């Protein structure tokens, strides 16, 4: 399948497996489960989306980001974990967070990152129309890239509050072996952060023609794999500080 050119809208996925994870988990566990979901997409050719909670305030940094300096306010206060995706620093705990894993060979997987980013955030904008009081809008494509923490520097196709210009949603991506992991963070009032919020189901429907929850056995298999990834990667000094 050929990569869609610029300006072409991506079609919905045929099918999406969903996990509205209501457990409160650490940053290391959340990042590990996201990568485990990516491996499922690679191994079984299925697309998976997971919405989840944080058990305490935490910070994730992009794959290529420097680790915060020893004694900094970030490292002293929060658990700091390196993501599998790129992008800048994201502070978590008061956000709705999700991971979308796209299997290889799909138009969305083959598309350029900007096209795919816009497709995901257009679906989010539609879904958030009620939860964000109709104030959400996409950042224009002409917006220049700026370095800095994720929510301090909106980039093209991020979501912002159209009244005050504050960033509402951003994300980071990585494509590997043809599959894509998109990790997204959305700043919303607490009422709308739960994985089973009504707008989350609308988002699923915007992404795919059909969606179905992961089975209990599939979730148990993901948690088993994530446990290994916490031990070998996300819970280790070497991974997080890139020693």
C-alpha triplet 237, 238, 242: angle, nearest 5°: 115
Residues whose CB is less than 8 angstroms from the CB of residue 81 and which lie 6 or more positions away in sequence, other chains included: 27, 28, 31, 58, 59, 60, 61, 234, 240
Share of the chain above pLDDT 70, in %: 90
As a whole number of angstroms, the distance between CA 240 and CA 80 comes to 7
The band of 7, judged by pLDDT with boundaries at 50, 70 and 90, is: low
Q: Comparing 62 with 5, which gets the higher pLDDT? A: 62
Buried-exposed string 137-160: b where 16+ CB fall within 10 A, e elsewhere: bbbeeeeeeeeebbbebbbbbbbb
| Superfamily in which the 13-109+178-241 domain is placed by CATH | Bira Bifunctional Protein; Domain 2 (3.30.930.10)
The band of 8, judged by pLDDT with boundaries at 50, 70 and 90, is: low
Number of Cβ within a 10 Å radius of residue 167: 19
Q: Comparing 58 with 148, which gets the higher pLDDT? A: 58
The backbone region for 105, taken as left when phi is positive above 0, alpha when psi lies in -120 to 50, beta otherwise, is left
With a cut of 70, say whether residue 3 has pLDDT above it.
no
Per-residue pLDDT of 160-181, as tens digits, reads 998 888 999 999 999 999 999 9
Per-residue pLDDT of 94-140, as tens digits, reads 999 999 999 999 999 999 999 999 999 999 999 998 887 778 999 98
As a whole number of angstroms, the distance between CA 13 and CA 48 comes to 11
Q: What is the pLDDT of residue 146?
A: 59
Query: 84, 241, 97, 81: which is closest to 176 by C-alpha?
Result: 84
Sequential DSSP letters for 3-58: PPPTTPPPPPEEEEEEEEEEEEE-HHHHHHHHHHHHHHHHHH---EEEEEEESS-E
Sequential DSSP letters for 174-193: EEETTEEEEEEEEE--GGG-
With a cut of 90, say whether residue 226 has pLDDT above it.
yes
The band of 78, judged by pLDDT with boundaries at 50, 70 and 90, is: confident
Token pair 């009244």 is at which residue? 163
As a whole number of angstroms, the distance between CA 29 and CA 95 comes to 17
Q: What is the pLDDT of residue 197?
A: 95
Q: Where are the domains of the chain?
A: 13-109+178-241
Q: What is the pLDDT of residue 135?
A: 87
Share of the chain above pLDDT 90, in %: 77
With a cut of 60, say whether residue 150 has pLDDT above it.
no
Chain-centroid distance of CA 243 in Å reads: 25
Q: Hey, is 117 helix, strand or coil? A: helix
The band of 4, judged by pLDDT with boundaries at 50, 70 and 90, is: very low
Number of Cβ within a 10 Å radius of residue 18: 21
Q: Which of 65-74, 78-87, 99-108 has the lowest mean pLDDT?
A: 65-74
Q: What is the pLDDT of residue 243?
A: 62
């Amino acid at each position: 399948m050929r990569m869609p050119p610029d300006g072409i809208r991506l079609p919905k996925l045929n099918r999406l497996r969903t996990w509205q994870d209501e457990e409160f988990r650490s940053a290391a566990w959340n990042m590990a489960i996201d990568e485990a979901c990516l491996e499922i997409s690679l191994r079984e050719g299925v697309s998976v989306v997971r919405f989840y909670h944080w058990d305490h305030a935490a910070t994730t940094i992009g794959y290529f980001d420097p680790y915060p300096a020893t004694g900094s306010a970030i490292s002293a206060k929060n658990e700091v974990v390196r993501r599998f995706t790129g992008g800048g620093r994201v502070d978590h705990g008061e956000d709705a967070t999700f991971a979308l894993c796209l299997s290889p060979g799909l138009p969305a997987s083959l598309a350029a990152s900007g096209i795919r980013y816009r497709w995901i955030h257009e679906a989010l904008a539609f879904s958030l129309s009620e939860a964000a009081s109709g104030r959400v809008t996409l950042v224009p494509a002409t917006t220049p890239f700026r370095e800095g923490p994720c929510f301090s520097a909106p980039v093209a196709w991020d979501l912002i509050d159209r009244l005050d210009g504050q960033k509402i949603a951003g994300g980071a991506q990585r494509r590997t072996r043809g599959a894509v992991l998109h990790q997204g963070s959305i700043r919303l009032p607490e009422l709308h952060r739960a994985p089973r919020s009504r707008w989350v189901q609308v988002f699923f429907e915007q992404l795919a023609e059909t969606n179905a929850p992961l089975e209990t056995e599939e979730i148990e298999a993901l948690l088993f794999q994530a446990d290994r990834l916490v031990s070998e990667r996300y819970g280790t000094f070497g991974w997080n500080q890139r020693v």
